[in-house]
Amino acid sequence: MIFVTGPLFAGKQEYIMEALGWDESDFETFAVRDVQDLAADLKTDQLPALADRLAEKKVVIATEIGGGVVPVDPADRRNRESAGRLACLLAERADTVIRVCCGLPRFLKGREVFQGFDEDP
């Protein structure tokens, strides 16, 4: 699995689609995005099961929401914490981790697996 993360509107989906030669149909079939939203309102002990399910996809994309001002609302803080924990679990399970910022990729983990996706979605 390739885990892609980065700021909001940083070009994560566009980068991965271009790099893998995918169209919208391929993306909808083999990838999932905005997984940070799936972590909202989950308890910490539920996150590993979610990460296991998401890791079955070829590409998982999450928007980083842990930077900046800490939310005042306790529920927002919990959701932010859950999203960060989910990102850690996904990075752990991933063969390749890429952080995309301004459309530019930075490989944080693995690269060889990413090369193999060029042939067949």
What's the rounded mean pLDDT across residues 6-15? 95
Q: How far apart are CA 109 and CA 88, in angstroms?
A: 12
State how many domains the chain has. 1
Assign 120 a pLDDT band (cuts: 50, 70, 90).
very low
Q: CB atoms < 10 A from the CB of 30, how many?
A: 15
**Tokens for 26?**
């391929």
- pTM beyond cutoff 0.75: yes
Has residue 23 got a pLDDT over 70? yes
The pLDDT assigned to 121 comes to 43
**Hey, which residues does 35 pair with through a beta bridge?**
none
**Which residues fall within 8 angstroms of residue 48, CB to CB, at 6 or more apart?**
89
Has residue 117 got a pLDDT over 90? no
Has residue 38 got a pLDDT over 80? yes
User: Please, where are the H alpha helices in 1-121?
Assistant: 12-20, 24-30, 47-54, 74-93, 112-116
What's the domain range around 56?
2-116
The pLDDT assigned to 47 comes to 97
Q: For residue range 61-113, list pLDDT tens digits in order.
A: 999 998 888 889 999 999 999 999 999 999 999 999 999 999 999 999 987 65
Asked if residue 32 belongs to a domain, the reply is yes
Tokens 């099961």 sit on residue: 49
CATH number at residue 59: 3.40.50.300
Asked if residue 13 belongs to a domain, the reply is yes
